[in-house]
Structure 1
């Protein structure tokens, strides 16, 4: 089902729900690609909701492509981050369950749409800006620390 979150929100309003996401840590050498997100006007990893019937792998490949213009190859799973609550600017509340993957670019080119993606930049891992929520900050710390197979 495309646009599952809109369908779900039409039934529950802003009440807390669990939502599943996939995010890509797109790395080149010792730098990582970050997205300045339109929903928060802050930096985070590219990624998004896993639609009904879609795998986390399919979602991250699709979402990274949509949000950055890049085609990527998954190298490894960084981790699964599950104990995080997030309140969106519109008041929606969710426990976000996210699978983060370490990826490398294999094609395409960076593209900013000015809506969902306000900016894209590679940052040295140790010089990345503060990310928009704790889930993304923890994933960045694990990425910079060389950890894999993390579960929280």
Structure 2
């Protein structure tokens, strides 16, 4: 993935591009797993799709990389596409993100200390500060039991 993004950025610099991405909702007893990111704010596990990868595969791969949990995609919750992001390095993008409910089937919770500083399950009432509007919308839709969402 990094090679593809690096290659793409050599052509377009920091200009805005559309990027396919996926996030995972991992639920346990009515709470969802969130990761504390290097910014100190929280979000869902997820990231940019690699070339040749289906979006549900992206959600499963990112969930493993960022949480240590082996998961299987069970349900498409929605598509979130009308968001603008500027990365800390100045790269601009419009992420088109598919949100999947995934089920943990193995592995053990662990932080990679790179993308994930802490992992914790939160109920709707306990939610910490979420790092971006796209993730806030996804989390709000999840707890409101909205499915088939498109924004």
Asked if Structure 1 and Structure 2 have the same fold, meaning a TM-score greater than 0.5 normalized by the shorter chain, the answer is yes
Instruction: Give 1:3-152 correspondences, 5 Å limit.
Output: 3-38=3-38, 40-152=39-151
Structure 1: segments with no counterpart, 5+ residues: none
**Alpha-carbon separation, structure 1, partners of 2:35 and 2:64:** 12
Using the size of structure 2 for normalisation, the TM-score is 0.94
**Alpha-carbon separation, structure 2, partners of 1:76 and 1:119:** 25
Contact (CA 8 Å) 1:28, 1:104: kept in 2 or not? no
Using the size of structure 1 for normalisation, the TM-score is 0.94
SS of the residue 1:35 aligns to: strand
Contact (CA 8 Å) 1:126, 1:144: kept in 2 or not? no
Distance 1:22 1:3, change over 3 A: farther
**Alpha-carbon separation, structure 2, partners of 1:105 and 1:128:** 21
Give the deviation of 1:75 after TM superposition.
2.3
**Alpha-carbon separation, structure 1, partners of 2:123 and 2:80:** 23
Contact (CA 8 Å) 2:60, 2:102: kept in 1 or not? no
Write out the 4+ residue segments of structure 1 that deviate beyond 4 Å after TM superposition: none
User: Which piece of structure 1 moves more, 22-31 or 69-78?
Assistant: 69-78
**Alpha-carbon separation, structure 2, partners of 1:104 and 1:125:** 19
The total of aligned residue pairs comes to 151
